[in-house]
Amino acid sequence: MSKLGYDPLKLKKHKISKLIALLTIILILELIPLVVKAGMSMRYSEDWGLGKSDEGIQPVGNEEAAYLKQFDAYYVGSPNDKVIYLTFDAGYENGYTEKILDVLKKHEVSATFFLVGHYLKTNPELVKRMVDEGHIVGNHTCSHPDMTKLSPDKFTEELQEFEVLYKEITGENLVKFYRAPAGKYSEANLKTAHEMGYKTFFWSLAYVDWDNDKQPTAEEALTKVLPKIHCGAIVLLHSNSKTNSEILDTLINLWEEKGYSFKSLDTLY
């Protein structure tokens, strides 16, 4: 202890403790933005979903239309126009797409087919027919992964590989419409797709139609789909569905009887 009555060793320890406390505070302040950012990323890694709604009323989606629009993303059209936008997802051919195309041709309805790379490679003639008959082919990625788990570079690669395949088959540049596999999306995905020049399309009407082993009857499917129709509906159907190929003609007729018309997605925005 010094002559002045204090212990230099204790004073040194006190200063060190204060320094450690100060450094801890600085570290916490540095980490807070990173934690918040990580939390936001988790918040926006979701599966697209819809709330229940009455007939004629647009359902509420995971995100508001205004939020999606900043990324050129959409799930529904105008609430004031009795317009339906037909879209089909296809990862593989199950023998029903020709019939679906026949029905669309009969009614002069243009649809959008969101395809994966496998479909392009194995069904080039059907892809050409879609394009020749005025339908849009959209990008459902090359290999249908969970896009929320990919880095920005891998995300970009998935879409660009599809673009290359499409041009090799059709000789045309792809219309940059994107639909996330299984509806899984994140804010980062929406931003990257937008930066690549894509418009992202979710949906406002769909039902469980993709399981080949659990296909609903035509009556069951119509009961599920017909009451959900609304102005600006973006309808998602799967072209591998036997039931969809059977009910499409009836669906179009019944919706037209209710005063709805059909337009292509490129008229929505």
Cite the active site residues. 89, 238
Contact criterion met (CB below 8 Å) for 145 and 166:
no
Q: Report CA torsion sign: 243, 56, 227, 53.
A: positive
Dist CA 239 CA 133 (whole Å)? 16
What phi and psi values does residue 262 have, to the nearest 5 degrees? Answer: -120, 135
Angle subtended at Cα 155 by Cα 151 and Cα 156, rounded to the nearest 5 degrees? 120
Dig out the tokens for 223 from the structure: 């009961």
Dig out the tokens for 90 from the structure: 């296809």
